Amino acid sequence: MKCRGIHSLIALVVGMTASLMIRAATPPPQPGADESVRKEAREIFASIIAIETSVGKGQVPAMAEYLAERFRLAGFPQADIHILPVGETASLIVRYRGNGKGGKPIAFMGHMDVVTAKREDWVRDPYLLTEENGYFFGRGAQDMKSDIAMLTETFLHLKRQGYVPSRDLLIAFSGDEETTQVSTEDMVKNHRDVMNAEFALNGDGGGGTVSEDTGKAVFYDVQGAEKSSVTYELTATNPGGHSSRPRPDNAIYDIADAISAIRQYSFPIKWNEWTIGNFKETGAVTTGSLGSAMLTFAAHPDDAAAAAEIAKDPAFIGLTRTTCVATMLRAGHAVNALPQSAIASVNCRIFPGTSAEEVKKTLQQLAGKNVAVTLVDIPVVSDASIMRPDVMKAVAHAVNLTHPGAVVSPNMAAYATDGAVFRNYGIPTYGTSALFMKHSDEFAHGLNERISVDTFYAGLTHWDVLIRDLTGPQHAQH
């Protein structure tokens, strides 16, 4: 569920200069991937775009088998390729054997499924990779078959080169991230003998922002934490009766009072090293009172006034606390009858380290005794990952090579990915997508999804650098 909100908005609304962007001298861009590598990556990209891996189609196993065959042809042993069926979907785990001197494996994550696309609504066939005006179009182009193709090609290329990493590398592609995440949980819960990673890099999180005005890369987010999306139902019931005989107890009024109480409530201020790091970088390039508040909050996260100033902007309120908002209402059964029931849906984005039950308890207190609060689904709530210096350094190197001058910033995402499941099972996870995008080009889950051709090919360098930096000879344990 890839969505870049915070820094995309900054690039739109914040005045920036090149001198503010560059923290230190950066090396010149390195040569990109060889033409043969680019050609094969595009071929893989086109092939997996053509497989309609949306829910109900049952095509994820076909995509897993297609990718598995690519790995087999590149010399990966059959014993190291695992297709794990789960219902109509499947996951794919591929082990790239290292020399074991660098420790436990690193997993490289992605999801093979996509959100449904109706062909009749698109300008171009969503299941045919189309290159036009400097863009690749297709369902999953951004979310997230591009990074799947890049990761696959990077593994194939390194294998053919004879590269021996200092630790094993694991492809970890799930099959239902957009829906239930059952295949993800199956990987990390039931197959830990195979999925034995020390940490994971997630192609479905993080990524770069390109300025609308200049076309230059300005930010790159390393995502080390995610807020969890949890939905609650508030229900009020009543015997009802004839509308000609109104009385004080009314299910709609009870729900209205509960929603009003929730609207006026602010959850406690929260922070972690990812949000503090984000505010340090973002505040330095954000003008006015918002930028000042970010810097103050980064230095003094218990500053209520700074938090209140940040909370005025919907793009940033989620980085300071848990938020809950009413999203749906249904009530009554006839225009001339007192309502026998009223139900409101409240969606909460829960700050890492806070439990869904804790939020439920707060909502129940706010709603009062006449309204019942229930959890709608089984939430995936995870803590933040520790910030690894080796990951941050490797990402900074990759970004400096492909997009010199872009500020690399820690980030906590307001959206959810498979990373939350991995973190819940003890695998720290870091969003390190190779994509750089303008806000105006973001159509993940929507019509005419696209990425730039340039960012796709630059992504091959991005993943290559990350793997080499984290698993080269210098990372052997002594």
Instruction: Tell whether 194 is covered by a domain.
Output: yes
Do 315 and 342 belong to one domain?
yes
> Residue 448: what are its φ and ψ, rounded to 5°?
55, 45
> Residue 4: what are its φ and ψ, rounded to 5°?
-100, 105
Dihedral, CA of residue 233, residue 237, residue 243 and residue 249, to nearest 10: -110
Q: Return d(Cα 214, Cα 218) in angstroms, integer.
A: 10
Give the list of residues 6+ apart from residue 118 with CB closer than 8 angstroms, or none.
none
Q: Return d(Cα 52, Cα 127) in angstroms, integer.
A: 7
Partners of 96 in the beta sheet?
A: 169
| pLDDT at residue 446, as a whole number | 83
Q: DSSP for 143-155, please give it.
A: TTHHHHHHHHHHH
Q: HSE (CB half, 13 Å, CA atoms) of 28? A: 1
Q: Return d(Cα 340, Cα 32) in angstroms, integer.
A: 66
Do 327 and 461 belong to one domain?
no
Q: What is the CA angle 40-43-47, rounded to 5?
A: 140
Do 15 and 160 belong to one domain?
yes
What type of residue is 182? V
Number of domains in the chain: 2
Do 352 and 425 belong to one domain?
no
Partners of 110 in the beta sheet?
A: 173
Shortest CA distance to 371 belongs to which of 265, 252, 263, 264? 252
DSSP helix/strand/coil, 344? strand
Last residue of a domain, one of 337, 352, 375: 375
Q: DSSP for 382-439, please give it.
A: -PPPP--HHHHHHHHHHHHHHSTTPEEEEEEESS--THHHHHHTT--EEE----EE-G
| N- to C-terminal Cα separation, the chain | 40
CB atoms within 10 A of CB 411: 28
Give the list of residues 6+ apart from residue 27 with CB closer than 8 angstroms, or none.
400, 401, 404
- Matching residue, tokens 């890839």: 2
Shortest CA distance to 166 belongs to which of 201, 198, 191? 198
Instruction: Tell whether 217 is covered by a domain.
Output: yes
| pLDDT at residue 2, as a whole number | 60
| pLDDT at residue 444, as a whole number | 79
CA–chain centroid gap for 276, Å, is 19
Give the list of residues 6+ apart from residue 298 with CB closer than 8 angstroms, or none.
276, 277, 279, 280, 283
Do 171 and 190 belong to one domain?
yes
Do 211 and 74 belong to one domain?
yes
Give the list of residues 6+ apart from residue 163 with CB closer than 8 angstroms, or none.
468
Q: Return d(Cα 92, Cα 96) in angstroms, integer.
A: 13
Last residue of a domain, one of 375, 398, 427: 375
Do 197 and 239 belong to one domain?
no
pTM, two decimal places: 0.89
Instruction: Tell whether 164 is covered by a domain.
Output: yes
Instruction: Tell whether 282 is covered by a domain.
Output: no
Q: Return d(Cα 333, Cα 240) in angstroms, integer.
A: 10
Q: Return d(Cα 412, Cα 429) in angstroms, integer.
A: 12
Do 212 and 232 belong to one domain?
no
Give the list of residues 6+ apart from residue 6 with CB closer than 8 angstroms, or none.
221, 278, 282, 315, 316, 319, 411, 414
> Residue 61: what are its φ and ψ, rounded to 5°?
-60, -35
Instruction: Tell whether 279 is covered by a domain.
Output: no
Do 445 and 355 belong to one domain?
no
Do 316 and 429 belong to one domain?
no
| pLDDT at residue 378, as a whole number | 82
The one-character DSSP state at 328 is E
Do 32 and 158 belong to one domain?
yes
Domain that holds residue 242: 228-273+304-375
Instruction: Tell whether 104 is covered by a domain.
Output: yes
Do 119 and 145 belong to one domain?
yes
Instruction: Tell whether 393 is covered by a domain.
Output: yes
Q: Please list the pLDDT of the chain residue by residue as tens digits (478 residues).
A: 565 555 555 544 433 333 333 333 333 334 578 999 999 999 999 999 999 999 999 999 999 999 999 999 999 999 999 999 999 999 999 999 999 999 999 999 999 999 999 999 999 999 999 999 999 999 999 999 999 999 999 999 999 999 999 999 999 999 999 999 999 999 999 999 999 999 999 999 999 999 999 999 999 999 999 999 999 999 999 999 999 999 999 999 999 999 999 999 999 999 999 999 999 998 998 899 999 999 999 999 999 999 999 999 988 989 999 999 999 999 999 999 999 999 999 999 999 999 999 999 999 999 999 999 999 988 888 999 999 999 999 999 999 999 999 999 999 998 889 999 999 999 999 999 999 999 888 877 888 999 999 999 999 999 999 999 999 876 666 4
Q: Return d(Cα 365, Cα 35) in angstroms, integer.
A: 62
Instruction: Tell whether 114 is covered by a domain.
Output: yes
DSSP helix/strand/coil, 186? helix
Last residue of a domain, one of 321, 350, 375: 375
Residue 49: which CATH number? 3.40.630.10
